[in-house]
């Protein structure tokens, strides 16, 4: 699936515009600028697919991506969708707008029955922050399976990566819906992508 082209199918600005529940969905959540859109592009090998930016607050809707070649008609649905999300935490946008994105993200995460797995991205340089903990708590409460992905490992020393993985694991190991294995990635240097692709394929097969 990751070897074929992927396409953007829909941007969802509010819950009422969500597509009918269908194929399994895999969502990418995390603070603004953590590298969600870049990671989706790296996973599918298509640089310009999801829009990325240096400025926090680039992704402003729930953006749906699916493998190409499925009509979407009954019996020809794509086998999964990747959902890029607006970031939480901070953004260079007016407060009301940021609040609206955060509400959309939280409502989607707790209320989508076809959501199979959430990848919560954590910047390797910054670690887990308070708002990440809020997202973990929400996912635990809603019993939505999630896994932590460290991003931008090219920005820290190689020798620090195993320690960071272990520190992060210890912070989530007691959380009921968290998958205990922490993945480490760099979209820039294509690190950890094969492991993440494998984890996604396993999650949708469940």
Distance CA 157, CA 180 (A): 23
Strands across the sheet with 6-12, in order? 6-12, 62-67, 81-84, 25-30, 115-123, 146-151, 183-184
Query: What is the phi/psi pair of residue 83, to 5°?
Result: -115, 115
For ligand GTP, the binding residue among 23, 26, 29, 33 (CB under 6 A) is 33
- Distance in Å, CB of 145 to ligand GTP, minimum: 21
Nearest residue (CB) to ligand GTP, 59 versus 147: 59
Please check whether residue 172 is in contact with residue 181, taking contact to mean a CB–CB distance below 8 angstroms. Answer: no
For ligand GTP, the binding residue among 6, 29, 43, 58 (CB under 6 A) is 58
Distance CA 55, CA 182 (A): 27
State the DSSP H helix or E strand holding residue 194, giving kind and residue range, or none if neither: helix 193-205
Site for ligand GTP in 117-176 (CB under 6 A): 151-152, 154-155
Binding mask 5-24 for ligand GTP (x = CB under 6 A): --------------------
User: For residue 2, what are its two tokens?
Assistant: 């990751």
What is the total count of residues that contact ligand GTP (CB under 6 A)?
Answer: 24
For Mg ion, the binding residue among 41, 59, 168, 186 (CB under 5 A) is 59
Per rule CB under 6 A, is residue 54 in the interface with ligand GTP?
yes
Nearest residue (CB) to Mg ion, 52 versus 171: 52
Query: What is the phi/psi pair of residue 141, to 5°?
Result: -65, -40
Distance of CA 132 to the CA centre of its chain: 13
Per rule CB under 5 A, is residue 41 in the interface with Mg ion?
no
Nearest to 149 by CA among 34, 11, 56, 64: 34
DSSP state of 154: G
Stretch of residues binding ligand GTP (CB under 6 A), selected from 8-16, 49-57, 62-70, 164-172? 49-57
Partner interacting with residue 154 (select from ligand GTP, Mg ion, none; CB below 5-8 Å by kind):
ligand GTP
Among all residues, whose Cβ is closest to Mg ion? Answer: 59
Per rule CB under 5 A, is residue 187 in the interface with Mg ion?
no
List interacting residues with ligand GTP (CB under 6 A).
Answer: 30, 32-38, 52-54, 56-59, 86-87, 151-152, 154-155, 186-188
């Amino acid at each position: 699936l990751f070897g074929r082209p992927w396409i953007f199918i829909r941007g969802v600005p509010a819950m009422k515009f969500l597509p009918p529940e269908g194929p399994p969905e895999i969502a990418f959540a995390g603070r603004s600028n953590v590298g969600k859109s870049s990671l989706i592009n790296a996973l599918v090998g298509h640089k310009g697919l999801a829009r990325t930016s240096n400025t926090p607050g680039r992704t402003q809707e729930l953006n749906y991506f699916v493998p190409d070649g499925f009509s979407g008609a009954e019996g020809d649905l794509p086998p999964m969708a990747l959902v890029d999300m607006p970031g939480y935490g901070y953004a260079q946008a007016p407060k009301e707008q940021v609040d609206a994105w955060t509400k959309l993200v939280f409502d989607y995460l707790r209320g989508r029955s076809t959501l199979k797995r959430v990848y919560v991205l954590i910047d390797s340089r910054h670690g887990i922050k308070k708002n990440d903990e809020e997202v973990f708590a929400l996912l635990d409460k809603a019993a939505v399976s999630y896994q932590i992905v460290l991003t931008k490992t090219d920005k820290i020393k190689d020798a620090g990566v195993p320690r960071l993985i272990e520190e992060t694991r210890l912070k989530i190991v007691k959380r009921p819906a968290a998958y205990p294995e922490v993945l480490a990635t760099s979209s820039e240097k294509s690190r950890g992508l094969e492991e993440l692709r494998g984890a996604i394929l396993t999650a949708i097969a469940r």
